[in-house]
Structure 1
Amino acid sequence: MERKYFGTDGVRGVAGEPPLTPEFVLRLGQAAGAYFRSQARRPVVLLGKDTRQSSDLLEAALAAGLMSQGVRVEHLGVLPTPGVAYLTRTLGATAGVMISASHNPYQDNGIKFFSATGEKLPDEAEAEIESLLSREFKTDGIGTVSDFREAERMYLDFLASKGSNLEGLKIVLDTANGATYRLAHRLFQRLGAEVFVMFNTPDGRNINQGCGSTHPEFLRQQVVEMGFDLGAAFDGDGDRVILVDRYGREFHGDHILYLNALVRREPGVVGTLMSNMGLEVKLREAGIHFYRSAVGDRYVYEKLKASSLTLGGEQSGHVIFLEHAPTGDGLLTALLTLAAMRQSGRDLAEWYEALPMYPQLLKNVRVQDKHRLMQHPELHQAVQEAERVLQGQGRVNVRPSGTEPLVRVMVEGPAELIEAVSSTLVATVERLDSLS
């Protein structure tokens, strides 16, 4: 069944505008509540959120809808997305819900459901919830609501149990004024690191604003100026991390996969269509198979399961260590990567230099209808022409964003070719969009 509201990462949009109006979210809560009632006699749903000013409103509407169908709601408060997934599984809840739009600006928000195992709700379940939206709901039992006050402590204990001794390391942390703002510095200090934390004063509107994993520029500067060993920048909901070496160079998801794959001696690694060709080549040299999935952590996870592998991720820093968690976790990724780094006896700077990257350009083009544009035959012809120009020395990937009205144009290959090829493709996308 085709889904109208659920995308690759839950229901997303601008808060207060369709579909994220209080009225719709109330109905979504009713539909989800009815679905969970069909799965469990006494359903319990854990509800977490990030620091956006709209999260409280959406949380209240969703909780009301769930309770009207007899669901018991446990509020987790502000907590990273992977924390919600972990607690859902650990506490044996029927489902978990995270209210967040991840790395997007504060105006956006979203609602993401997790199954009882802490995995993203299957497509069939999301489709079933959507089908229930057309029903006329009546109150079907009256649920209760309470605050689960042990959420932070339990999640922090879990993370600390996965980390190693960090004594002697000086780390700058950028929490993006988001969901990790209370946890990150406590976690790294607990493991012995000397910590300087910034962007940890959320006001509801400054989440991801010039900071976090999508804007690590100030972090890079601070690591160098303060003489720290490294930096870590998380995104708004805490499921991604970008590291920075002592020279201020960005140590992104491809570097993280390479370091962990070699130290952990992984038989194979899952990346995406956007993963740099340099990673594929270096892993092949090390005798490690490299698999590509579609872009999106959901598809990385599915490929890991299908290939019986445990390590995969995206350049964005959304990395999955499947033996520890079924979803990406920025804090966990940072801890495991630093543990592997120390085990190797090499610092991030040395690992950065060990993975030469192919030149890659990524441009985002805002469009009116990304799905219709992607079907246009002239765009397909332009991609084929771009690949012909690269003559087998690179890659082209043009795809719609999973969460925003954007078409992403990625060109990888020789530096002297990719700028012209990228500009031609962007111009084609803009021209075709103007005709729609």
Structure 2
Amino acid sequence: THADARARLLHRAADLIVERLPAIANLLTREQGKPIPDAEKEIRFGVEVIRYYAEEGRRLGGSIRAAARADIRSLVVSSPVGVVGAITPWNYPVDIYAWKLGPALAAGCTLVVKPPHETPLAIGLVVQCFIDAGLPAGVLNDLPGTGPEAGAALAEHPDIRMITATASTAAGQSMMRAAADGMKRLTLELGGQCPFVVLDDADLAEAASAAARRSFSNMGQICIAVNRILVADAVHDQFLEALAAETERIKLGHGIAPGVAYGPVLHEGVRARTRGHVEDALRRGGRLVAGGGAPSGDEYDRGFFFRPTLIDGATDDALVMTQESYGPIAAVRRVRDDAEALALANALPYGLSAYVYSRDLERAWAFAEKVESGAVAVNVNDTTELQAPFGGWKLSGVGRELGTEGLMAFRETKHIKIRLRGAAG
């Protein structure tokens, strides 16, 4: 198909998603738990992604390169990579679905998608929008199932030329091994254990508010969430007091109820892991500052609720400081200076996102250049931008999504060299 035809179809599908947004958001909240406003925001961003790639696909092109001889012309072109196997997560099922579907279709690929078995329903409504927009049969295929079964089938299948997945590090490693024999292209956005650094000249009120949002949005169930907060010793007490106040202000409720901003976690497994990380930190000498368990009250009997939890003084070997909690827990750790903050930030084998707050942009820039992370946010608590590439270093993944890089990930490059007989050699 021509790029313009693909773009028109993507825009038609996006229009239908917007038209059906209330129904999709309602279903997303019921299966995932996030409040309706968050579900609507997720879907709207997914629509932005689809529209962005509809237009980026129109701009696909090639180039003519300089050659060593006058009778040679050197052309660089690209073509679709082929059939793509996509694996999407349960925490932002519609949004991340768009991250993979939008650029793959814009690039001219067909897809076999394994939706998350925990939250497959809202995605089904999105798929229907593409069908109703006129997507030909066989271009987009849903493959329900659990990760070990469906994911392995995709990674091992000889007709799949690329795997794109958002998953845990362990799942990504398994997919990489399964895809090795077929030498498949990989884009893997995997786990993060993201450091949030507060230098001694930071705006503490701003940093505390930002840290609370980054730690507890979607109940910490997001790859760029913050579990470990590294704070300069000189401002530790003041920052901790401000962050504790922000944490205590958070009120939980059922996502479907009006006015709710923070809901439950996905299931008991997430709640149990969060509780385990809290108990481990306290056993190792950490001090509970806020939260620490499930809220009390009849209104919380139905739902997997866990109060946003703040711990001070967790040791460097605590689970909350070394593993991705994927729940509503954050731990504050004192640091002597910028050098110790950087060393601790780089100490783990993960590198998805990092955050630094400072009024001195030279200090912040020095940290941003040296921290081992695929994305760094300075005085802002979000590392994603639709027009910029996103992806991890080290065990946090390979490849990039979003931006033009996210589109070209689904294209194969070819060099065509031509000799012109009539040109001088």
Bucket of the pairwise TM-score, normalised by the shorter protein: under 0.3
Q: Which has the larger radius of gyration?
A: 2
TM-score with structure 1 length normalisation? 0.27
Q: Given the two structures, how large is their TM-score scaled by the length of structure 2?
A: 0.28
Tell me: higher relative CO, structure 1 or 2? Use CA pairs within 8 A at least 6 residues apart. 2
